[in-house]
Amino acid sequence: MQTTRPVFLDLWRIKLPATGIVSILHRISGVLMVLAIPAAAVLFHQALSGPDGFAAAAGFLASWPVRLALLVLAWGLLHHLFAGVRYLLLDLGIGLERAAARQSAWTAIVAALAVLVVLAVNLGVTL
């Protein structure tokens, strides 16, 4: 493909800013949750089917590999939520300046991780 657009591929000087990190994590977290939809529907149906089904679903969710997957999905949901609120605000024209946009990007990343820690500690206590 012929192009006259400037190409900058100095890999030592290219750096993804926080806004770009939020963007790709928004995408990754969205895809992870999409992949979890069928399992979530099956587990919801099973847990509602009766006491035995509820016990089976709870038992499945309590195993360590599944709990790890749940932790990743919980992070995905929180990141998608905070980054999504940020995108809605940007759509409204709020925080479009570069400094503000980078600040809110870091806020979204950190807020998701902070709430994840609170959730994980809470679940660790109850389980």
Residues lying near another protein in the complex (CB under 8 A) are found at: 27, 30-31, 33-34, 37-38, 40-42, 44-45, 47-51, 53-55, 77, 81, 84-85, 88, 91, 119, 122-123, 126
Smallest separation, CB 29 to another protein (Å): 10
Which of residues 34 and 68 has its CB atom nearest to another protein in the complex? 34
72: exposed, middle or buried (Cβ count in 10 Å: 0-12, 13-18, 19+): middle
CB atoms within 10 A of CB 15: 7
By beta-carbon proximity to another protein, the closer residue of 4 and 117 is: 117
Q: What are the DSSP calls for 71-127, one per residue?
A: HHHHHHHHHHHHHHHHHHHHHTTTT-SHHHHHHHHHHHHHHHHHHHHHHHHHHHHH-
In the complex, the smallest distance separating the C-beta of residue 8 from another protein, rounded to whole angstroms, is 21
Complex with another protein: residue 13 or 56, whichever CB lies closer: 56
Taking the least distance from each CB to another protein, the nearer of 45 and 63 is 45
